[in-house]
Amino acid sequence: MTIYTTGALTRTALIAETTSGTTPASPVMLVLPDTKIDLEPNQAFYADTSINADRMYHYDIPGLKKVQGSLSGNLSHLNYGPILQSAMFGTFASSVLKTGATMQSFTLEEWHSDSSTGSTGTGCFADKLSIKVPVNGIVTIDATIMGMVYAATTAAIGTSYTAATVEQPFTHLGGTLTEGGGAIASLTSIDLTIDNGATALQVLGTAAPIGYVPGFAKVSGTLSAFFANNTLMNKFLANTASSLSFTLSDGASTLQFNCPNIIYTSLKKPVSSQGAIVVTMAFEALKDVSTGSNLVITKS
């Protein structure tokens, strides 16, 4: 009987690379408790547009190959540390992570034990990252993955596998929310996005990119709140700098996301029903002189 792969038996794991694009020898892989992985080979093709008096193309010629995809999960205290570091181009120092300039690449593996098949991507990193904090549900993390070389496998690449840390995913409950340095009790959602704007480096004679270079580290997001007064609106109208911080807790450990210098860039306040009015505001995080970063992530 043919064995077909199932999502329930799929294992996602990664290992940090010392040299981008090269899996370390005898890799000890870290398993991720993801909710979705979509690791794909991206292959460019170039059509031969020669005219042959028959109205048909004769050749599709393969070009650049690279890795692209996405990785999603329920955010918890420790398990997604490598993904956060990759998106921030930095590392946790004394439990604090700030925006940096050094790529933190990893080898990513998708393994299907029921069919003994898998795939790997080397030179991978999180080019974009989104954290969503809803009023109903679990806090989620979604990463856009880019990388150098994709390969199909028939054997797991790890020498051993370190199981994911057993820890409860975050919700907004038990956490703290501050805006402008003061507690705010009217928020209904927060979305935070990191976008590195990376581009692949392509050279003649090589099918895979030789690397990636990031652009600006753009940190932005949106917040929604029940409309009670003009405080937030006036900050937008006057282009007044503010700050936004949210601390997530699982009852034992915390993870704080702090944007110490933000500017609101849009405001929407539609009245479409008889219910409570909700104001939605977009913001952009700028470099803060005191912390030296546009985003500071602290685990405790």
100 part of a folded domain = yes
Helix H or strand E segment including 133: strand 117-134
Does any domain span residue 85?
A: yes
| Mean of pLDDT values over 239-266 | 97
- Average confidence score pLDDT of the chain: 96
Q: What is the pLDDT of residues 201-250, one digit of tens each?
A: 999 999 999 999 999 999 999 999 999 899 999 999 999 999 999 999 99
Query: Side-chain half-sphere of 141: how many Cα atoms within 13 Å?
Result: 25
pLDDT tens, residue by residue, 205-217: 999 999 999 999 9
Tell me the C-alpha distance between 68 and 199, whole Å. Answer: 12
pLDDT computed for residue 283 by the predictor: 98
Confirm whether 48 is domain-assigned: no
Asked if the structure places residue 46 within a domain, the reply is no
Does residue 79 lie in a domain region? yes
Three-state secondary structure call for residue 232: helix
Residue 214 lies in a domain: yes
Render pLDDT for 62-79 as a digit per residue (tens, 0 to 9).
999 999 999 999 999 999
Residue 254 lies in a domain: yes
Its pTM stands at: 0.94
Q: Is residue 54 part of a domain?
A: no
Tally the domains of the chain. 1
Structural domain that includes position 269: 7-20+28-41+60-299
